[in-house]
């Protein structure tokens, strides 16, 4: 949420305001670009991030960090823990490491691979709209997000190889997560060509907000 989205409802509070969030994760995405640059930069900065940089606004005594994560194997959590959270993240005992094929994960016990893609980002539609529909400027802005064709091509190729080499039982075992809705649409479109319509429907493609 942008800072105005947080501040306006907070003004209704009578005693206290409790902010829950993570300023280290994806910040607000502002589709509207026809505004002055300083205001745009202010909107794109997470409120918690600005508060964390100023101990006078957010004293240490008012901060609480949840250090136990339940979402991923330890080999995945090690990187974000070291890179963003000063190695403070702890893995819950319910999180288990699964065995993955060495053809995809070249380093034993490491379930993450970084692929450098130099393809530039561009703006694209966040959802498909019928050709007969007419959208005003505001609707177009709210339906605009970032996408990257080069990254989407790599995702489609990876899914194709996983299925072709039978490294997964079926396409329903695959899931793709992306930060942006336009990239979600781009990947879904390319998957149909890469793996066929039936397999493409079975692969879950979602954003960081909803899978």
Q: How large a percentage of the chain has pLDDT more than 70?
A: 84
22 to 44, 54, 81, 82: CA distances (angstroms): 14, 16, 13, 16
> For the segment 133-155, what is each residue's pLDDT rounded down to a tens digit?
443 433 344 566 889 999 999 99
30 has pLDDT over 70: yes
Quickly state the pLDDT bin for 40 (edges 50, 70, 90): confident
> For the segment 148-186, what is each residue's pLDDT rounded down to a tens digit?
999 999 999 999 999 998 888 999 999 999 988 899 999
37 has pLDDT over 90: no
124 to 4, 31, 51, 88, 140: CA distances (angstroms): 25, 10, 32, 37, 10
CA-closest candidate to residue 182, choices 29, 3, 14, 7: 29
The pLDDT value recorded for residue 68 is 95
The pLDDT value recorded for residue 206 is 93
- β-partners of residue 124 are 145
What's the pTM value of the predicted model, to 2 decimals? 0.65
Average pLDDT score, the chain: 83
The pLDDT value recorded for residue 205 is 96
Asked if 168 and 196 touch (Cβ cutoff 8 Å), the reply is: no
> For the segment 62-81, what is each residue's pLDDT rounded down to a tens digit?
889 999 999 888 888 999 99
The pLDDT value recorded for residue 171 is 95
Asked if 151 and 117 touch (Cβ cutoff 8 Å), the reply is: yes
> For the segment 7-27, what is each residue's pLDDT rounded down to a tens digit?
899 999 999 888 888 888 877
The 3-state secondary structure of the chain reads: CCHHHHHHHHCCCCCCCCCCCCCCCCCCCCCCCCCCHHHHHHHHCCHHHHHHCCCCCCCHHHCCCCCEECCCCHHHHHHHHHHHCCCCCEECCCCCCCCCCCCCCCCCCCCCCCCCCCCCCEEEECCCCCCCCCCCHHHHHHCEEEECHHHHHHHHHHHHHHHHCCCCCCHHHCEEEECCHHHHHHHHHHHHHHHCHHHHHHCEEEECCCC
Could you tell me which residue, 29 or 139, shows the higher pLDDT?
29
The pLDDT value recorded for residue 210 is 67
């Amino acid at each position: 949420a942008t800072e105005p989205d947080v501040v306006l409802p907070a003004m209704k509070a009578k005693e206290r305001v409790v902010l829950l969030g993570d300023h280290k994760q994806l910040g607000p995405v502002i589709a509207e670009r026809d505004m002055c640059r300083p205001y745009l930069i202010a909107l794109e900065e997470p409120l918690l991030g600005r508060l964390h940089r100023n101990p006078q606004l957010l004293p240490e005594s008012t901060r609480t960090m949840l250090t136990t994560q339940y979402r991923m194997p330890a080999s995945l959590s090690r990187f974000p823990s070291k890179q963003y959270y000063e190695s403070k993240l702890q893995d819950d005992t319910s999180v288990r490491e699964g065995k993955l094929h060495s053809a995809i994960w070249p380093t034993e016990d490491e379930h993450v691979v970084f692929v450098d893609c130099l393809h530039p980002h561009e703006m694209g539609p966040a959802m498909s709209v019928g050709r007969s529909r007419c959208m005003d400027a505001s609707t177009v802005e709210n339906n605009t997000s970032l996408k990257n064709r080069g990254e989407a091509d790599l995702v489609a190729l990876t899914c194709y190889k996983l299925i072709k080499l039978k490294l997964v039982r079926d396409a329903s075992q695959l899931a793709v997560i992306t930060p942006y809705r336009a990239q979600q649409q781009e990947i879904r479109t390319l998957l149909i060509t890469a793996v066929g319509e039936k397999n493409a429907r079975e692969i879950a493609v979602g954003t960081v907000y909803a899978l």
